[in-house]
A and B are shown apart, each in its own frame.
Chain A
Amino acid sequence: MDLTELLDVGEAHRAAQKATRVHCCTSTGCRAASAMEVFKNLKTAVQDAGLEAEVEVVGVGCMGFCGRGPLVQIDPQQALYEEVKPEEATSIIDTLQGGTTPALKGDLQHPFFARQVKIVRQHSGKVDPESIEDYISVGGYRSLYKAIYEMSPGEVVDEIIASGIRGRGGGGYPTGLKWATVAKMPGDQKYVICNGDEGDPGAFMDRSVLESDPHLVLEGMAIAGYAIGANHGFIYVRAEYPLAIQRLQKAIQQAKKYGLLGSQIFDSPFDFKVDIRIGAGAFVCGEETALIQSIQGGRGNPIPRPPYPAQSGLWQCPTLINNVETLANISTIIREGGAWYASIGTDKSKGTKIFALTGKIRNNGLIEVPMGITLREIVEEMGGGVPDGEVKAVQTGGPSGGCIPASLLDTPVDYDSLVAIGSMMGSGGMVVMDQDTNMVEVAQFYMEFCRGETCGKCVPCRTGTVQLYALLTKLLKRQATQADLAKLESLCHMVQETSLCGLGISAPNPILSTLRYFNEEYQELLQPPAYLNGKVGHGQVTVSQ
Chain B
Amino acid sequence: MQAVTKTTQATPKPAKSDHPSGDRRFKTLDMTMKRHQYKPDALIEVLHKAQESFGFLEEDVLTYIARGLKLPLSKVYGTATFYHLFSLKPNGAHTCVVCLGTACYVKGSNKVSAALEEELGIKLGETTADGKISLMAARCIGACGIAPAVVFDGTVAGKQEPEMALAKVKDWELE
Answer yes or no: A and B touching, Cβ < 8 Å: yes
> Which chain A residues have a beta carbon within 8 Å of chain B's beta carbons?
28-29, 31-33, 65-67, 69, 198-204, 207-208, 238-242, 277-283, 294-300, 315, 356, 358-360, 364-366, 395, 398, 429, 431-433, 437, 445-446, 449, 453, 455
Q: Is B144 an interface residue (CB 8 A)?
A: yes
CB under 8 Å from chain A, chain B span 100-140: 100-107, 138-140
Residues in chain A near residue B48, CB distance under 8 A: 239, 278, 280
Q: Is B20 an interface residue (CB 8 A)?
A: no
- On whether the beta carbons of B5 and A29 are closer than 8 Å, the reply is no
- On whether the beta carbons of B75 and A298 are closer than 8 Å, the reply is yes
- On whether the beta carbons of B85 and A239 are closer than 8 Å, the reply is yes
* Complex Cα spacing A239 to B154, Å: 12
- On whether the beta carbons of A240 and B78 are closer than 8 Å, the reply is no
Chain B nearest CB from A517 CB (Å) reads: 17
Residues in chain B near residue A297, CB distance under 8 A: 40-45, 79
- On whether the beta carbons of B156 and A201 are closer than 8 Å, the reply is no
- On whether the beta carbons of A32 and B4 are closer than 8 Å, the reply is no
Give chain B's interface secondary structure class.
mixed
Known contacts A283-B139, A298-B75, A299-B82, A356 near B1 by CB under 8 Å: no
- On whether the beta carbons of B145 and A364 are closer than 8 Å, the reply is yes
* Complex Cα spacing A200 to B147, Å: 15
- On whether the beta carbons of B158 and A33 are closer than 8 Å, the reply is yes
Give the tally of cross-chain contacts (CB within 8 A): 153
B44, B139, B143: which contacts A280 (Cβ < 8 A)?
Answer: B44
- On whether the beta carbons of B143 and A28 are closer than 8 Å, the reply is yes
Residues in chain A near residue B104, CB distance under 8 A: 201
* Complex Cα spacing A359 to B106, Å: 6
- On whether the beta carbons of B139 and A431 are closer than 8 Å, the reply is no
A32, A299, A359 interface centre (most CB from chain B within 10 Å): A32
* Complex Cα spacing A242 to B42, Å: 20
* Complex Cα spacing A204 to B99, Å: 13
Residues in chain A near residue B98, CB distance under 8 A: none
A240, A279, A453 interface centre (most CB from chain B within 10 Å): A240
Residues in chain B near residue A453, CB distance under 8 A: 139
> Which chain B residues have a beta carbon within 8 Å of chain A's beta carbons?
1-2, 4-6, 40-45, 47-48, 75, 78-79, 82-86, 100-107, 138-147, 149, 155-158
- On whether the beta carbons of A29 and B102 are closer than 8 Å, the reply is no
* Complex Cα spacing A163 to B82, Å: 39
- On whether the beta carbons of A67 and B79 are closer than 8 Å, the reply is no
Chain B nearest CB from A178 CB (Å) reads: 24
Known contacts A33-B158, A298-B79, A365 near B140 by CB under 8 Å: no
* Complex Cα spacing A358 to B143, Å: 10
- On whether the beta carbons of A296 and B41 are closer than 8 Å, the reply is yes
Closest to A399 in B: B102
Query: 6 closest pairs, A vs B, by CB?
Result: A66-B145, A281-B84, A201-B101, A280-B83, A202-B102, A204-B142
Known contacts A298-B79, A431-B103, A356 near B43 by CB under 8 Å: no
A67, A198, A282, A366: which contacts B146 (Cβ < 8 A)?
Answer: A67
16 A-B residue pairings within 8 Å (CB atoms): A28-B142, A32-B158, A66-B143, A69-B146, A200-B102, A201-B100, A201-B139, A203-B142, A278-B45, A297-B42, A298-B43, A298-B79, A358-B145, A431-B103, A432-B106, A455-B82
* Complex Cα spacing A490 to B37, Å: 51
